Amino acid sequence: MFDGSRQSNNFTANVSGIGHSARIAISDVAMKGASLDEVRAVTGHEIGHYVLGHIWRMVITFSLLAILLFFLADRLFGRIARIFGSDAEVGDPRGFPVMMFILSLFGFLALPVQNYLVRTGETEADLYSVQTVNLPDAMASALVKTAEYRNPRPHPVEEFLFYSHPSVERRVRAAMEWKAAHPPAEKPSPE
């Protein structure tokens, strides 16, 4: 449990690290506001990120993306500098503002790609949680608590461009669809 309430009232948890340094951190806000089943469902989600190798996937894809951005910045630097009326080359300190412009522009354009990757991981981790912990109701009620700080029903275009997590509405629906498809085993009749 980490002292998340020092920074915000967000109901949040995360997993980070690799090997022996891996750990799941749950904000004290979430720990205080959640039922035991909600903590189980959320922990199942975070374990999913680790088990499914999302940390490595992020490290590798974001590194490749950064290499691509710097490669393009290098190739297009001269042309873009001319637009700003500068004759600076890529290694010239005078061209630094142009480099910052290029990197922020490309970073902005790459945002949907980045968000798409992260959202895919979130969907997979949600699925891992219901498959292993099988608490779709607790998953859904925990998700609803994140709607305090996250628009639960964004426009699909807004979600595609700017959301690092699938909408709360979509995630709750997925949990409920799982529940509908996996009814609890019938209890033996008490005779």
Contact residues for Zn ion, defined by CB under 5 A = 122, 125
Q: Nearer Cβ to Zn ion, position 86 or 134?
A: 134
Smallest gap from residue 125 Cβ to Zn ion (A): 5
Q: Nearer Cβ to Zn ion, position 73 or 142?
A: 142
Smallest gap from residue 28 Cβ to Zn ion (A): 19
Task: Give which of 189, 149, 188, 190 is closest to 168, Cα–Cα.
Answer: 149
Q: Nearer Cβ to Zn ion, position 45 or 88?
A: 45
Smallest gap from residue 164 Cβ to Zn ion (A): 9
Q: Nearer Cβ to Zn ion, position 86 or 115?
A: 115
Spatial separation of the C-alpha atoms in residues 124 and 145, rounded to whole Å: 20
Task: Spell out the residues 6+ positions from residue 170 whose beta carbon is closer than 8 angstroms to its own.
Answer: none
Smallest gap from residue 167 Cβ to Zn ion (A): 14
Report in angstroms the alpha-carbon separations of 22 from 29, 186, 187: 21, 38, 39
Q: Are 23 and 17 in contact (CB under 8 A)?
A: yes
